[in-house]
Amino acid sequence: MKPLLEIKHAVKTIYNDDENLNILNDINLSINPKDFLVVLGTNGAGKSTLMDAITGTNELTSGKILLNGKDITDENLAKRSRNISRVYQDPKSGTAPRMTVAENLLLAKRRGLPRRLYLRHLKENLPEFQKLISNLPTLDNRLNTFTEKLSGGQRQTLSFLMAIIQKPELLLLDEHTAALDPQTSKDLMELTNKVILEKELTCMMITHDLSDAMNYGNRLIVLKKGKIILDLDQSEKDKLKEKDLLQYF
């Protein structure tokens, strides 16, 4: 199977007067279509830096990134966003607070299109948006609610829907449930898993939750000091216990 994403010898170095620090230290990683890859690691392990490199938010010092065999290492953030979606940890990131839920979904639906003046055609899209949220008690009947009026869980659910509305080639989830209360986090994680499986998305998810790492995804990697120190497929992951993972922290 041809990989969807390939990261080759990725290095990210921070230079200072005392010493140079490799946040990413020769990372090599391939992600296949429909993979649901879960990434674990302590603070400072390089998890978010790796996602920054994939999205183009932060350039690599050296190395290459290929998407569907095409070298995107030098592509800018806007160009990569046509194929790569990301949900951040902060519920306030990724949504426009003074726009309604429907208006935010319309923005996401037009992500990657040329920027120009045109009619919004919001009304024509409302049936599609209503169908999208109809089975979500947290957002149902809130299409006309301004995003700033939503709770953190509602806003994060909206961010997730915005990220998948175009069915991205690669979905990146950067601890997207970490800032939520336990029940809301559980609900969003269940929705996430359901959508990824139904839409057959390719996903990389960062988490600090060992339980989520055990229960979701078909592959698990552990980062430490900018290196991949563990890479397990589904069969290897199924044999794992939480106490086995704790030794890496």
User: CA of 64: how far to CAs of 30, 168, 169, 170, 217, in Å?
Assistant: 12, 21, 18, 17, 25
In single-letter form, the type of residue at position 34 comes to K
Confidence of residue 71 (pLDDT cuts 50, 70, 90): very high
188-239 per-position pLDDT tens digit: 999 999 999 999 999 999 998 899 999 999 999 999 999 999 999 999 999 9
- The contacts of residue 101 (CB under 8 Å, 6+ apart) are 129, 133, 139, 142, 143, 144, 145, 147, 150, 158
Domains and CATH numbers, the chain: 5-246 (3.40.50.300)
Q: Is 113 a residue whose pLDDT tops 80?
A: no
Q: Is 117 a residue whose pLDDT tops 60?
A: no
User: Cα 102 to chain center, whole Å?
Assistant: 22
Q: Is 165 a residue whose pLDDT tops 80?
A: yes
- The contacts of residue 53 (CB under 8 Å, 6+ apart) are 7, 10, 12, 24, 59, 60, 65
| Token pair recorded at residue 66 | 């290929």
Helix, strand, or coil (residue 224): strand
Give dist(CA 91, CA 231) in Å, integer. Answer: 29
Cβ atoms 33, 4 nearer than 8 A? yes
pLDDT-wise least confident of 12-21, 149-158, 166-175, 221-230: 12-21
How many CA within 13 A on the CB side of residue 246? 4
DSSP 8-class letter at 114: P
Cα first-last separation, the chain: 33
Helix H or strand E encompassing 170: strand 170-174
